[in-house]
Amino acid sequence: MKHTSYSIFKKWFAAAAVASAFALSATTHAADLTVSAAASLTNAFEEVGAAFAAKQKDTEVVNSFAASDVLLQQIISGAPVDVFASADQKAMDKAVEADVVEADTRVNFVQNEVVLIVPNDNPRNITGLESLKNKDVTSIALGNPASVPVGRYTQGALEKAGEWDTVKKHEVLGENVRQVLDYVSRGEVDAGFVFATDAAAAKDKVKVIETLETVTPVTYPIAVVKRDGVNSTAQAYIDFVLSEEGQDILAKYGFAKP
């Protein structure tokens, strides 16, 4: 498997953000509620969107899933997004600084954890962070800390545990948390770091070895995007996410209340 270098990734990141923004603009309609959400929310938000749409006449929820920073760049580039849900506070802070979200609508809606996972057969016999120092461990996947929230959480936790240099030597960077999950589930790397909810979604292919102690809680914020023509049901969608029904759906996928 070939892994993209950081310099090439940066070029891809900028091009993909602009291209995706135009793609969204071309495919959305007046009655669509467009939600840009972190990749780790994929399964949960597909169900949340369907449940919300069932309650709203003439409104269809269109989801866009990717790394939070990629989604943010799409929004800044003018993608017709109504709601932004990030996997960490830093991405939402950038959105506020760029003045592309309504800051007073920002609210934390779920909490998660970062875990160390291995393929189910665990060929390297990894038993914890300390095992990553074993000489036969040569590839460890994590989200790119420059653009992926799970990567930022992972780096902070590993620095706190004194294991960042160990992982850095063997890093395989993913463009989002689901790519990291795929690397591990296909046995293309020895281990990886993902959110607990992603590991649960692939429990038949990966095994959780350890839960990391992150520097800050893994909380997800959501907010209405600031733009002309924003769907009037955007705030209603956020209210639904925070409602008992919305939280019950999210809990099904392993998310905890913030």
Say if CB 142 and CB 171 are below 8 A apart: yes
C-beta neighbour count of 131 within 10 angstroms: 20
Tokens 């954890």 belong to residue: 113
Tokens 């790394």 belong to residue: 67
Helix (H, G, I), strand (E, B), or coil: what is residue 42? helix
Q: How many whole angstroms separate alpha carbon 140 and alpha carbon 117?
A: 10
On whether 167 is known to bind a ligand per the annotation, the reply is no
Tokens 């929820």 belong to residue: 61
Edge-to-edge strand order for the sheet containing 107-112? 60-66, 32-38, 83-85, 218-224, 107-112
- Given phi > 0 = left and psi -120 to 50 = alpha, else beta, which region is 131? alpha
On whether 68 is known to bind a ligand per the annotation, the reply is yes
Q: How many whole angstroms separate alpha carbon 225 and alpha carbon 77?
A: 13
Spell out the SS3 assignment of 132-194.
Answer: HHCCCCCCEEEECCCCCHHHHHHHHHHHHHCCHHHHHCCEEEECCHHHHHHHHHCCCCCEEEE
On whether 40 is known to bind a ligand per the annotation, the reply is yes
The half-sphere exposure of 164 on its side-chain side, counting CA atoms within 13 A, is 14
Task: Please state the residue numbers annotated as binding site.
Answer: 40, 68, 177
Task: Please state the residue numbers annotated as binding site for molybdate.
Answer: 40, 68, 177
